Amino acid sequence: MQPFVYNSQASRVVFGAGSLRHLVREIDLLGARRALVLSTPEQRSSAEHVAALIGERCAGIFDRAVMHVPIETAREAREVAARLNADCAVAIGGGSTTGLGKAIALESSLPILAIPTTYAGSEMTPIYGITEAGLKKTGRDARVLPKTVIYDPELTTGLPAQLSVTSGINAIAHAAEGLYAQDANPVMSLFAEEGIRALAQGLPRVVASPDDIAARSDCLYGAWLCGAVLGSVGMALHHKLCHTLGGSYNLPHAETHTIVLPHALAYNAAAAPDAMHRIARALHATDAAQGVFDLAQSLGVTVALKDIGMPADQLDRCAGIATQNAYANPRPVERGAIRALLEDAYQGKRPAARAASD
Ligand SMILES: NC(=O)C1=CN([C@@H]2O[C@H](COP(=O)(O)OP(=O)(O)OC[C@H]3O[C@@H](n4cnc5c(N)ncnc54)[C@H](O)[C@@H]3O)[C@@H](O)[C@H]2O)C=CC1
Ligand SMILES: O=C(O)/C=C\C(=O)CC(=O)O
């Protein structure tokens, strides 16, 4: 075994159907008295349910979380938290809502209790993102890692089937890149492979029956493990491409991950054979890139950037942005090859299998 460094991220996880009933106990354990509940406008009713559970210790609800955390929203939420004397933030929702909690915690160190309702995994990471003047900046800071996470699969049954699939593949992307990360380690690789396996088994059952709690549990468990990988080791080409596409063209986050991942894996396949073997094994596929593509296509989500609003004439520019700064990746990142990758993703082409001799 190669020497390695493993950074554990300290958080408390309460997992299981119905575990939202432990919310007040968990707020007590944080030592908090005035909880500010965060949500998107669409999940206002979930926020109200949470506020009712918290009772008199609920300081208020802020329901304006949106994707990519615009700085104006972050400032408004910070002001509300300060005005209400909140001493903890309870974020119920996906990565956008957790991200808003992180924007508050970044300045105030307010502890976050996250209740994830998608599979994006932000609740397991010290990574924050804030968008200012059309530019999204991300960073790592221990203050933004949620202190407590309540994973209750019952809260995910309302996540539409298509968003469940793309969000699940967003999670798989964290694990896949974690397996070939420059700072990969055996512990996170175990999390990664198990996370992919749980999601690959759970997602088809969720699509067939969105209320299936056992399937929802498998997916949320997989999302937890994959999120932990994202929080612990560095990402590479795939995440760089998705941030470029999402940030520059405002493409939807989970869908973009779903479309790009097979092509990023095909690009890196020959340079990371062990990771590809483990991804394929977890997917019960013979090839990692094709396995992800087939999973997405068989579950009825789009596999082409042209279907989600990517302008055809921007592929050159996108290849330029994604290759202008150096970053760790198993295979050198070359502009011409990235342009070809983007063309394949734009058209929704099934990637070729890695040759056995590669
Ligand atoms: N900092 C980090 O470590 C990470 C950050 N992110 C960030 O998170 C954002 C994307 O988060 P996502 O979770 O993909 O989407 P999201 O949080 O934007 O949610 C998408 C939509 O689905 C709704 N929704 C969520 N859960 C639902 C449920 N159970 N039932 C019905 N509707 C539900 C939301 O209210 C929203 O309208 C991006 O800004 C991305 O950059 C994503 C992953 C990791
Ligand atoms: O952009 C952020 O807020 C930080 C990380 C991610 O979004 C990870 C991802 O691309 O899923």
The best mutation among 40, 62, 100, 144 to test binding of ligand 1, ranked by most ligand atoms within 8 Å of the C-beta, falls on 40
The best mutation among 43, 138, 233, 308 to test binding of ligand 1, ranked by most ligand atoms within 8 Å of the C-beta, falls on 43
Alpha-carbon gap, residue 179 to 191, rounded angstroms: 10
Residue 221 and residue 152 in contact, taking contact as beta carbons nearer than 8 Å: no
Q: How far away, in angstroms, is 258 Cα from ligand 1 center?
A: 14
ipTM of the complex: 0.98
Is the CB–ligand 1 distance for residue 168 below 6 Å? no
Query: So what's the pLDDT on residue 357?
Result: 47
CATH of the domain spanning 12-156: 3.40.50.1970
Q: How far away, in angstroms, is 162 Cα from ligand 1 center?
A: 13
Query: So what's the pLDDT on residue 198?
Result: 99
- Residue nearest atom 17 of ligand 1, based on CA coordinates: 94
Express each pLDDT in 87-115 by its tens digit.
999 999 999 999 999 999 999 999 999 99
Alpha-carbon gap, residue 81 to 77, rounded angstroms: 6
Residues with pLDDT less than 70, the chain:
355-358
Alpha-carbon gap, residue 150 to 313, rounded angstroms: 44
- Residue nearest atom 9 of ligand 2, based on CA coordinates: 239
Is the CB–ligand 2 distance for residue 153 below 6 Å? no
- Residue nearest atom 39 of ligand 1, based on CA coordinates: 68
- Residue nearest atom 7 of ligand 1, based on CA coordinates: 95
Q: How far away, in angstroms, is 96 Cα from ligand 1 center?
A: 5
Is the CB–ligand 1 distance for residue 278 below 6 Å? no
CATH topology assigned to domain 161-347: Dehydroquinate synthase-like, alpha domain (1.20.1090)
Q: Which two tokens stand for residue 276?
A: 């590809």
- Residue nearest atom 1 of ligand 2, based on CA coordinates: 129
> Pseudo-torsion of CA 130, 133, 134, 139, nearest 10°?
-30
Query: So what's the pLDDT on residue 169?
Result: 99
Is the CB–ligand 1 distance for residue 329 below 6 Å? no
Query: So what's the pLDDT on residue 265?
Result: 98
Q: How far away, in angstroms, is 53 Cα from ligand 1 center?
A: 23
Ligand 1 atom closest to Cα of residue 96: 17
| Domain map (residue ranges) of the chain | 12-156, 161-347
